[in-house]
Copies of this chain bind each other. A is one copy, B any other.
């Protein structure tokens, strides 16, 4: 209809995912009912089952999508031998941007709501998290190898860095004197010095 050529396949799926994302974050997965979601979407609970097989599938779809949005753009870094400093900055930038991005939603869902997934689906998400970690480890190891960073356990370092980013969702709100770009630079500098000799 808009003529953009983009097929609008799954418009309702999108709607459900977006509304659910907000609700899951605001109220928690268990505390959000299918009725809550349906109300937000403007139809009745039964209709959700025309698009998702279960509430868990909604959660899974949201988590998977967001995790992929973080991981896919940085996959190419894993085996790339470029400047580790720039790579670290890029990783931080992507992660912060998705975390605080327009959709502003899931965030800590990864930390707390994974338990609501079936084992099989949890594995899918955890595999994506492993991808993220592997990429980060690679960057840090190369930085250490090149003498740019102090010798240290790269796993611990990455966990600290990721933790700073993940929880920005809880306390950060952009201001004139501190935009998201500023925050990215702040975290990058903070991490950089933390990693330095």
| Interface set of A (CB-CB < 8 Å, partner B) | 26-28, 30-31, 108, 111-113, 115-116, 152-153, 156-157, 159-160, 163-164, 166-168, 170-172, 178, 183, 186-187, 189-191, 193-196
Contacts and interface: CB of A to CB of B under 8 A. Distances in A.
Contacts of A193: 193-194, 196
Given A160-B187, A163-B163, A163-B164, A178 B153 contact: yes
22 contacts: A27-B115, A30-B30, A108-B108, A108-B111, A111-B111, A111-B112, A111-B167, A112-B112, A156-B178, A156-B183, A157-B190, A160-B190, A163-B163, A163-B164, A163-B166, A163-B167, A163-B168, A164-B164, A166-B167, A167-B167, A190-B194, A193-B196
B156 A186 contact: yes
Given A112-B112, A167-B167, A189-B194, 19 more contacts: A26-B115, A28-B28, A28-B113, A30-B30, A30-B31, A108-B108, A108-B112, A111-B167, A111-B170, A152-B186, A153-B178, A153-B186, A156-B172, A156-B178, A157-B190, A159-B167, A163-B164, A163-B168, A191-B194
- The A interface, classified by DSSP as helix, strand, loop or mixed, is helix
A129 to B, nearest CB: 10
